[in-house]
Amino acid sequence: MTTDLGSGAFIDSGTERLLGRVDGDIGWMIFNSPAKHNAVSLDMWAGISALLATFAADDAVRAVVVTGAGGKAFVSGADLSEFGAKRNSPEANEAYTAVSRKARTDLNGFAKPLIAMIDGYCIGGGLVVALGCDIRIASAKSVFGIPAAKLGLGYGLGGVVDLVRLTGPGAAKDMLFSARQLDAAEALRIGLINKVVESGLSDATTDYARMVARNAPMTVRAAKMAVNEAVKALAERDSAAVDAAVQACFASADYREGRAAFAEKRPPVFRGE
């Protein structure tokens, strides 16, 4: 399949290799370098942060889908052609890493639901992006892997923490040690992804995103916060922030709307307030 770029309003990410658009209540982040299987470049890492900031500021956006153009790859890894010029010394590597680290931090800190729509290769840096999302929906032809051990690259703690949280240490070590590729069925079995779609990936993912977007935004954000805190060590959890988010839900107009809609047997119309 090829990714439908749709007709929504496009957003400037700073590079044509990363497209952003808003279609109703769904934001789209589209890696757009199909000739390189959407290998992520430095400007694309920077563009992730730019798009997330725009989506965060737009109250109309209630969920964001992250995907790749071309139908062959989500993201096939880092753009190795840049390494000679941009990662050729410890200092250059640190500058490069600072940009990619900020993108990962922004993904992990994004308050709204992030849904990865994966079709094809999801390798290395692409898997890091997918791990930064809340939900991962993949086509049956998708493959997953971390090739660092075949490239002599060290893999930082940030991406490894996300991997271990999803798959456990045994599966994470297998992926890191062997650098082998996993098919979609195995990725589903070990918990790396949430769902495999045999056909109609774009429609299935869009329908899922719309289902999430129709729900009470404050409740969804509070749930995301609670889950993110729950996987932290007990001493690191911000229970007060979760409690405050929950109390805000109970005090909201959306809570009143939800109760009224249930009593009147109609779909609720949530406004995020």
Q: How far apart are CA 192 and CA 45, in angstroms?
A: 22
Residue 2 lies in a domain: no
Q: For position 15, which CATH number holds? A: 3.90.226.10
Residue 104 lies in a domain: yes
> What is the total count of domains within the chain?
2
Q: Give the domain extent around 84.
A: 9-213
> 26 and 55 share a domain?
yes
pLDDT band at 7 (very low <50, low <70, confident <90, very high): low
> 192 and 173 share a domain?
yes
pLDDT attached to residue 84: 60
Residue 270 lies in a domain: no
Q: How far apart are CA 99 and CA 224, in angstroms?
A: 25
* Across 16-39, average pLDDT: 95
Each residue of 70-129: pLDDT tens digit? 999 999 988 877 766 666 677 777 888 888 889 999 999 999 999 999 999 999 989 999
pLDDT attached to residue 39: 93
> 38 and 123 share a domain?
yes
pTM attached to this predicted model: 0.91
Residue 269 lies in a domain: no
* Across 142-153, average pLDDT: 91
Quick check: 232 pLDDT over 60? yes
Quick check: 154 pLDDT over 90? no
pLDDT greater at residue 153 or residue 77? 77
pLDDT attached to residue 100: 86
| Percent of the chain at pLDDT exceeding 70 | 95
> 48 and 143 share a domain?
yes
| Percent of the chain at pLDDT exceeding 90 | 82
pLDDT greater at residue 209 or residue 84? 209
> 81 and 132 share a domain?
yes
Place of tokens 């805000």: 248
> 174 and 255 share a domain?
no
Residue 273 lies in a domain: no
Which of 192, 213, 234 is the C-terminal boundary of a domain? 213
> 99 and 175 share a domain?
yes
- Write down the mean pLDDT value for the chain: 92
Residue 36 lies in a domain: yes
> 56 and 188 share a domain?
yes
Quick check: 1 pLDDT over 50? no
> 149 and 236 share a domain?
no
Quick check: 2 pLDDT over 50? no
Residue 100 lies in a domain: yes
> 206 and 234 share a domain?
no
Burial of 38 (0-12, 13-18, 19+ CB in 10 A): buried
> 114 and 194 share a domain?
yes
> 170 and 251 share a domain?
no
Residue 272 lies in a domain: no
